[in-house]
């Protein structure tokens, strides 16, 4: 940003580039109550803290991008920016001074308080990110999606989720829901793209838990057994911020998971490949 050393502020009328380093020095001098000099080496005028504050007020009121009127992004009402409370500015938080860093015990107390209240949901007292513990059931959608994957992957080949959805012919089944729940049960596993050789994320990774893969999947041995009604699975899985924590509830079969929305016998009597 180019500014002018005006008579009202500094006096010499020379234009100079206000660099980040120079702005930092001006702010430091103003906060410390110290005099400084004009950046123009030929100007001998002393700049007082009051002059600097006047200059900073003018600078802070100017949009940083010429022709663009906004200084900060517009956050729609009610939206959590990055999971944080509306109105939270981490830059302002980071500028606040602490007399000492928190002890490990204090950090542990905050973590414990936050973790103990996740069932009802809440904002992290440190970063303000909203989190809530979720209790996700083995529902009809993922169960139906799994049956179709098992049917298509009769030889263990990798199948793209789009192909599964297409085969379901508009049964109102979400592929995203299925691929976020079924891997946590160990019923499906990500596979590399047969066209590009892209390796899937490892099973222990956060990306794997969230279903962030090239989009190709294959059923596991356990997944085939569940789809063929040979084994039951836990009724629900507990997750928080996408990370699985535990299983809970009783056991459900594939027929029980499908519920009244889908007829298991009608699905399987088509001559399923498995």
Q: What is the pLDDT of residues 136-189, one digit of tens each?
A: 888 888 899 999 999 998 888 898 988 888 888 867 788 788 888 888 888 989
Give residue-wise pLDDT tens across range 241-266: 777 888 888 889 999 999 988 889 98
- Judge whether residue 32 has pLDDT over 60: yes
Pairwise pLDDT comparison (97 vs 274), residue with the higher score: 97
Element (H, E) at 17: strand 15-17
- Judge whether residue 17 has pLDDT over 70: no
Phi, then psi, of 81 in degrees rounded to 5: -75, 110
Q: How confident is the model at residue 88 (pLDDT cuts 50, 70, 90)?
A: low
Mean pLDDT of the chain: 76
Q: How confident is the model at residue 228 (pLDDT cuts 50, 70, 90)?
A: very high
- Judge whether residue 65 has pLDDT over 70: no
Q: What are the residue ranges spanned by the domains of the chain?
A: 2-60, 82-93+104-131, 135-268
10-24, 45-59, 137-151: least confident range: 10-24
> How far are the Cα atoms of 34, 66, 142 from residue 245, in angstroms, in the given order?
56, 50, 19
């Amino acid at each position: 940003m180019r500014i002018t050393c005006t008579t009202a502020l500094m006096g010499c009328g020379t234009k100079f580039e206000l660099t980040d380093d120079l702005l930092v020095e001006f702010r430091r001098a103003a906060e410390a109550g110290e005099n400084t000099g004009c950046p123009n080496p030929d100007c001998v005028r002393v700049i007082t803290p009051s002059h600097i504050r006047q200059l900073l007020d003018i600078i802070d009121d100017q949009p940083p991008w010429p022709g663009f009127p906004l200084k900060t992004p517009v956050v729609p009402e009610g939206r959590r920016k990055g999971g944080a409370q509306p109105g939270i500015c981490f830059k302002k938080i980071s500028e606040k001074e602490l007399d000492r860093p928190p002890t490990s015990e204090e950090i542990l107390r905050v973590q414990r308080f936050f973790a103990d209240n996740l069932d009802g949901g809440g904002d992290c007292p440190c970063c303000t990110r909203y989190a809530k513990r979720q209790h996700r059931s083995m529902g009809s959608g993922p169960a139906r999606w799994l049956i179709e994957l098992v049917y298509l992957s009769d030889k263990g080949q990798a199948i793209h989720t789009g192909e599964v959805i297409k085969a379901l012919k508009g049964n109102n089944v979400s592929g995203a829901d299925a691929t976020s729940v079924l891997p946590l049960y160990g019923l499906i596993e990500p596979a590399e793209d047969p066209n590009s050789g892209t390796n899937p994320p490892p099973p222990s990774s956060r990306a794997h838990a969230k279903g962030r893969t090239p989009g190709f999947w294959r059923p596991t041995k356990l997944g085939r057994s569940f789809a063929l009604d040979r084994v039951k699975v836990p009724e629900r899985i507990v997750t928080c911020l996408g990370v699985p924590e535990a299983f809970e509830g009783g056991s459900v079969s594939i027929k029980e998971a499908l519920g009244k929305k889908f007829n298991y016998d009608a699905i399987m009597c088509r001559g399923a490949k498995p």
